[in-house]
Structures are given as structure tokens and as C-alpha cells.
Chain A
Amino acid sequence: MLSADLLANAVVAGILLGGFYAAVAIGLAIVFGQLDIVNIAHPAFIIVGAYVAYILNSLFGFDPVLTGLAAAPAFFLCGALVYRIYFLAFERTGQESLSGLAFFFGVMFIIEVSLILVYGVDYRLVQAGYIGQTWTIGFVDLPLRMLVPCAISVALTLGVYLYMSRTFMGRAIQAVAQDRLALQLMGADPVRIKQWAFGLGIATAAIAGSLLIVIGPVEPSVGRLYIGRAFAIVVLGGMGSIPGMFVAALLLGVIESIVATFFGPSWAPAVSFGVLGLTLALRPAGLFGRS
């Protein structure tokens, strides 16, 4: 059954899916990959982003992707606030990782329940002109419902990467990750920088959420499905590396797609996480990580 067009389509579908996964993981790549904050509530923030897109789409007919971009600054402020609380409670006292993890578990549950209490558990979907159309290049199909999120995600990744490597703040964030003391000695305030980075991570969640609801229906507990994938992508790509994260996301998408097409979709999670496990066993720093 291995025909050229089936294979080509499987790979392309995997790339489109992987591109979307990158949008989900990029916030975590900043917050967890570079700052070692185990924000397990990140997918929950993404769901909030999806609901924001849904509300604006159903009330005013705004395009979901645009609402994601418009909501990003508000999410940025929200993220900065959450970091403030986290810092005051944990980082200042040096109690990180495990306590921080429990804290974010709590935040995740609070977010999920609040969404249920306000919006109920019915599935939410959006309408947009490009959902349902397909472009065809030769024998390869590109459904816009997957292509648009992938394209936005590529732009987002590129934007974040350039920000991290070209702007002062971006480089400061990387510096904080690498050597906090040196940064302090150079006169920058690590806390403010981390707060900025965390806000940035949550801002990406707004965008990722809008992409998620373009692809499929959303209800409050959908976030849980992405926890494993998001962390896996960041670790697989290498902590602290944005390009690594992107490659890992594409890899995961392509693996899922090929396994689903040729072997049986029910094995896809085992293969994806098996690859992750193998990488951890052989090269724990990930594909592009700093060792």
C-alpha cells in the first residue's frame, strides 16, 4: 500500500500538524526550556485562548486567528501576574521545581473548573471562511484548516526566535537562563526579565488557542491531552532551543501521521513517546540542546 502520493500526503499532513504542535509548545519552550519553570498549566491557558477566540467569533464574527493576536497582549499581562505570584511564593524562597509543579497543577485545575462553571461542557467550534477549503498542488492536498494554523505557527516561531536572538530583552532572557548571577552583576534585574519571559510564553498561548479551535472542537478538559505532547516536544528538541523545539514538533507530527496512515492510528502515541524515551536514553540533551 506504499504509494508515492499516500506517502507524500502523509508527510505533508504531518508537517502541517507538527507546525501546529510547535505553536502549542513554544510558550513552554520559553518558560520551561529556558527558565526551568514547570508550567504544567500552559495547555490550560491555551484553552482559555481558544474560548476567547470562540466568544469573539460567535458574537462578532471576528476571524479566530486575528482574535488570538489581539488577545495576546492581555494574556501577556496575565502571565506576568501569574509569574509574580509564583515568584513571591517559591523562587524567592528557593523552593522551586517540585513546589512550582504542584502550584501549576493547582492553577490548571482552577482554570479548567472556572471555564466549566462559566461556559459549561458543551463543545465549542468556530466558523471562518477558510475552514473547509483545500488547496491542491499536484497530488498533495493542503486543507486550509490545517495550513493556516501551520503558517501562523511558523510566523510565530520565527518571530519569537528573532526576538530572542536580536532584541535586548530576548538576549537578556537567554542570559538569565544561562547565568543568572552574571546577569545580576551586569545590572539587569533577573526577576523582571523572567516575568517578561513568562508573560511572553502565556501570550503565545492566546495565539495557540485560536489555532486549536480552528482545527477542531474545544471543551475545558481538552487541554489535558496536550500536556504530554508539549513537554515531550520541548525536551526532545532540547531545552532552551527554539529551532530545536520546532524541529521536534515537526518530527512528532510526521511520525504520528505516518504511523496513522500506514500502521494504525492507535499506535501513534506509543511511537511518539517511544521516540522521546529513546532520545532521553541516548541523548538526554535532546536534538539541539545545550548539554
Chain B
Amino acid sequence: MHRRHWLFAAVGALALGFTTPIATAQQKPVKIGFSMALTGGLAGGGKAALIAMEIWRDDVNGKGGLLGRPVELVYYDDATQGANVPGIYTKLLEVDKVDLVVSGYGTNLIAPAMPIIMRKKLVFPALFGLGANEEFKYDRYFQIMPAGPEPKLDWSRGFFELAMSQNPKPRSVAIVAADAEFALNAAEGARANAKKVGLNIVYDKTYPPATTDFTPIVRAIQATSPDIVYVGSYPPDSVGMVKAANEIGLKAKMFGGGMVGLQFAAIQKNLGPLLNGVVNYDFWVPEPTLTFPGVNEFLAKYRVAAKDKGVDPFGHYLPPYAYAYLEVLGQAVEATKSLDHGKLAAYMHKTTFDTVVGKVKFGKNGEWARTRTLQVQFRNVQADNLDQFAGPGKRIVLYPKEWKSGDIVYPFKQ
């Protein structure tokens, strides 16, 4: 048995050696542990998030660390496999003995960690999982994605409110989604919202993620003549859907809603003018109404760090929030002057934080007390131009009202 302990100690030391930056640590560092998707389907976001988190760590250490101790990030790649997550968090807690934990990226990777986290009663800031706490109802879960108190409904609420505020009102909606966790949840919310506002759902189908050609799907949607179309999709399908909609001339008045991928620079550049008119969700865009203190400085640092790393060069989507979910944790630690998870949780529930993504206030279920899921419309996008997306004017915020930077152009197809 001794040999086994020795082996694990050696393995733990190896792990530290691999993940510790050259810290001039005279004191024991504060270790923050997590899993992150660095390979597999969500790696594009995961790698970008990690870059942001390392910027936070360097910023904090540059100012003296947390509680006067240097911060160290201890992380492992979960390869977008939920099955790897329980083992990783068990190792982080039992072997690496981290002081704090945060989640990986995506519901598939957040949920498997919950039982372990809940058993140890740890504070758990989470990164972009739609409604991941609905089954667990854990009171120390804090979701940085600004979905809102009713995540699945709040997600698409703006889209439908915008639609119904037009004159004449649309009467029918087509809902299409990828057969995968997030998209299906978004579609479920869309369905509920549609019924609430009295829209007739004329198409409601899902497609397998391996679909190559979206033309038949878009054509089938067209055949039902919907007034608006709500799509829940992942990056490759989002591209396919936008291209197919363009190629067959989809005659809907509003198109978009829950399409992941339209927030990524490479895809925006490639789709170019095809995006004009599309109304889609987003969480941060470089519009004048959203220039929160610190966000532009952060993005500048990100742009430098992300060069040549094969990730999104601008980092508008996930990175600011990855920075923020560590910010709220760090601020809570400094304010309570402790690493006691009970005190941290209590503080995080009652405080409104100031972060690079603005003011953050959590509700009882760990979601944002007020939604800030933006509905954004692409406008005046030029072809083959990456830099146009670095600044304002191309993604106009339509909803919610307090962040609005322009009015909707409706119908979407001229």
C-alpha cells in the first residue's frame, strides 16, 4: 500500500510540474482545479477559455495573488468526454488537493462533476451549461452564462418578443435543432415560448449532427411557409443552414435564434454578407452599449495570447466569461478573506460583482438573476473581411432593452 501512495504522490508531483507556471512562490499557492475540453468537439471554445483563464491568473498574480498567495491553475483535458470528468475532479480533490474548483465548458462536462462537488459541498462556478443545475438544484452552483433565472425559456425569449413586436405580427414558426444536448434544450425553450405568444408551430424537427447537406432540411422548412424560423445548431451545421437558406432563397421574415458558431470570427468572415439580417443569440459584442470597464483591455491581451494557437482570434464569445467566472471567485475570496466554501457561497449569492462582462448578480438557483442573453442582428457585413468584426456596427444589439444599440430590420430577406 505504501508503494501505491508513493506512486500517486509522484504522479501528483508530475502533474504539478506540468501545469505550474514558473511561480516565485515562497508561500503555498492557492490552487484552482478544473477540467477543460482541449480536444474533441468543444475544444475550440475550451482552448479559448483556457487562454482567458491564464490571463486572469497572470493578472491576479501580478497584483500579489489571492490572499497574498500566488494562484495556480491545475487542469486536465476532459476531451469533451463526460466519462472522463468524475475521474478528473476526484483526482483534483483527492490527489492534487486543490483549494477551489470551477467547471469545464458545456453541460456534458459540467453535470458529471456535480455529484462529487455536491458531496464535498464546494462552491462551483460553472461555464456555459444550459440549465445544468435544474436536476441537481445545488445551492453552491454559480453559472456565468447570462441565460437568466429560467435558462431554457430566457434563452429564446428575446427572439420571440422581437418577432411579436413587429407589425403585422408573424403567425407561424418553424423550429429546427441538432440532435444534441444544447440545441435540443434551446428548441424546447423555443417551443414553449412560441406557444406562449400564440404562434403556430408548422415545422418541428431535429437532424443528426453528422448531416452534410442542409438543403433538403431548409427546403422542407420552406414548404411549410413559416413566418419565422428558429434554429438550434452547432458550428458546422450553423454554417450549413445559413448557406442553404441563402442558396434556396428562404422566404422567412426572421431567421436564427440559437445558432452556435455565428459568434466565431473564422465563421463570420467566411459567411460574410450571408449573415446580414440573421438574428441570433450572443453574450458580448463590441457595441458601444457593452463597453464594460476592463473588457477591451482584456480582449487586447487575449488577441495577443491567442495568436497562432488555432483558436478564435478575437475571443468575443467565451473568453470574457471564462475570465469573469474566475473573477467572481477571486473577488469572493478576497472579500471574505477565506477559502471556506460556506462563506464564499453566501457572499456570492448576495453580492453584485463588477467584472469584465459588467455587473453580475446570481439568483437562488445559481443562474443570473436577470437574463442578459442578447439578440443580435448582423448588418452591413462585407465579404472576406475579418477585422470588421473587431469593432461596432456589424452586430447590432436588439434585446434586452437596456443594452439595445439599434432597431431590427424586418423582414430579414430583402
Residues of A within 8 A of B (CB): 1, 3, 6, 9-10, 13-14, 16-17, 20, 116, 119-127, 131-134, 141, 143, 145-146, 215-217, 219, 221-222, 225, 256-258, 260-262, 264-266, 268-269
The residue that A121 contacts in the complex, of B43, B179, B205, B219, with Cβ under 8 A, is B43
Closest to B240 in A: A216
Closest to A117 in B: B310
Interface contact B270-A20, CB-CB below 8 Å: no
Q: Would you give the shortest CB distance from B37 to chain A, in whole angstroms? A: 9
Known: A122-B310, A216-B240. A6 touches B223 (CB 8 A): yes
Closest to A61 in B: B384
In the complex the two chains form, what is the Cα distance from A132 to B206 in whole Å?
24
Interface pairs A-B: 7 shortest CB-CB? A120-B310, A265-B207, A121-B43, A143-B247, A125-B270, A260-B216, A225-B210
Residues 196-224 of chain B, each 1 if its beta carbon lies under 8 Å from chain A, else 0:
00000000011110111101110110011
Which A residues touch B44, using CB under 8 A?
121-123, 219
Interface contact A257-B266, CB-CB below 8 Å: no
Q: Would you give the shortest CB distance from A182 to chain B, in whole angstroms? A: 41
In the complex the two chains form, what is the Cα distance from A126 to B179 in whole Å?
26
Judge if B333 is at the interface, Cβ distance under 8 Å.
no
Which B residues touch A219, using CB under 8 A?
44
In the complex the two chains form, what is the Cα distance from A258 to B213 in whole Å?
12
Interface contact B223-A3, CB-CB below 8 Å: yes
Which A residues touch B249, using CB under 8 A?
134
In the complex the two chains form, what is the Cα distance from A31 to B249 in whole Å?
41
Judge if B47 is at the interface, Cβ distance under 8 Å.
yes
Closest to A112 in B: B39
Among A143, A146, A265, A266, max chain B CB count under 10 A is at A265
Which A residues touch B236, using CB under 8 A?
123, 216-217, 222
Q: Would you give the shortest CB distance from A149 to chain B, in whole angstroms? A: 10
Which A residues touch B224, using CB under 8 A?
1
Closest to B43 in A: A121
Judge if B264 is at the interface, Cβ distance under 8 Å.
yes
In the complex the two chains form, what is the Cα distance from A260 to B217 in whole Å?
6
Which B residues touch A6, using CB under 8 A?
219-220, 223
Q: Would you give the shortest CB distance from B351 to chain A, in whole angstroms? A: 36
The residue that B311 contacts in the complex, of A13, A120, A215, A256, with Cβ under 8 A, is A120
Among A116, A256, A266, max chain B CB count under 10 A is at A266
Which B residues touch A121, using CB under 8 A?
39, 43-44, 47, 310-311
In the complex the two chains form, what is the Cα distance from A89 to B5 in whole Å?
41
Q: What would be 18 A-B contacts, judged by CB atoms less than 8 Å apart? A: A6-B223, A13-B213, A116-B43, A120-B47, A121-B44, A122-B44, A132-B246, A141-B247, A217-B236, A221-B41, A222-B236, A260-B220, A261-B216, A261-B219, A264-B205, A265-B208, A268-B207, A269-B208
In the complex the two chains form, what is the Cα distance from A16 to B216 in whole Å?
11
Interface contact B219-A217, CB-CB below 8 Å: no
Known: A10-B219, A261-B216, A266-B207. A123 touches B264 (CB 8 A): yes
Closest to A121 in B: B43
Known: A134-B248, A141-B248, A262-B220. A119 touches B41 (CB 8 A): no
Q: Would you give the shortest CB distance from B243 to chain A, in whole angstroms? A: 6
Known: A217-B235, A269-B208. A10 touches B216 (CB 8 A): yes
Which A residues touch B39, using CB under 8 A?
116, 121
Describe A's contact surface by its main secondary structure. Answer: helix
Known: A10-B219, A123-B235. A145 touches B243 (CB 8 A): yes
Judge if B309 is at the interface, Cβ distance under 8 Å.
yes
Interface contact A132-B216, CB-CB below 8 Å: no
In the complex the two chains form, what is the Cα distance from A20 to B213 in whole Å?
10
Which B residues touch A123, using CB under 8 A?
44, 235-236, 239, 261, 264, 266-267
Which B residues touch A116, using CB under 8 A?
39, 43
In the complex the two chains form, what is the Cα distance from A124 to B267 in whole Å?
8
Interface contact A217-B207, CB-CB below 8 Å: no
Which A residues touch B312, using CB under 8 A?
122
In the complex the two chains form, what is the Cα distance from A46 to B122 in whole Å?
46
Interface contact B248-A266, CB-CB below 8 Å: no
Closest to A264 in B: B205
Judge if B40 is at the interface, Cβ distance under 8 Å.
yes
In the complex the two chains form, what is the Cα distance from A134 to B274 in whole Å?
14
Interface contact B40-A221, CB-CB below 8 Å: yes
Among B240, B309, B310, B312, max chain A CB count under 10 A is at B310
Judge if B244 is at the interface, Cβ distance under 8 Å.
yes
In the complex the two chains form, what is the Cα distance from A120 to B207 in whole Å?
27
The residue that B217 contacts in the complex, of A14, A126, A225, A265, with Cβ under 8 A, is A265
In the complex the two chains form, what is the Cα distance from A119 to B266 in whole Å?
13
Which A residues touch B205, using CB under 8 A?
264-266
Q: Would you give the shortest CB distance from A210 to chain B, in whole angstroms? A: 15
Interface contact A146-B215, CB-CB below 8 Å: yes
In the complex the two chains form, what is the Cα distance from A176 to B149 in whole Å?
67
Which A residues touch B235, using CB under 8 A?
123, 217
Which B residues touch A225, using CB under 8 A?
210
Interface contact A119-B310, CB-CB below 8 Å: yes
In the complex the two chains form, what is the Cα distance from A220 to B133 in whole Å?
32
Interface contact A257-B213, CB-CB below 8 Å: yes
Q: Would you give the shortest CB distance from B10 to chain A, in whole angstroms? A: 26
Interface contact A265-B206, CB-CB below 8 Å: yes
Which A residues touch B311, using CB under 8 A?
120-122
Interface contact B267-A268, CB-CB below 8 Å: no
Closest to A260 in B: B216
In the complex the two chains form, what is the Cα distance from A124 to B217 in whole Å?
23
Which B residues touch A131, using CB under 8 A?
243
Closest to B205 in A: A264
Which B residues touch A122, using CB under 8 A?
44, 264, 266, 310-312
In the complex the two chains form, what is the Cα distance from A264 to B249 in whole Å?
21
Within 8 A of A (CB), among B14-30: none
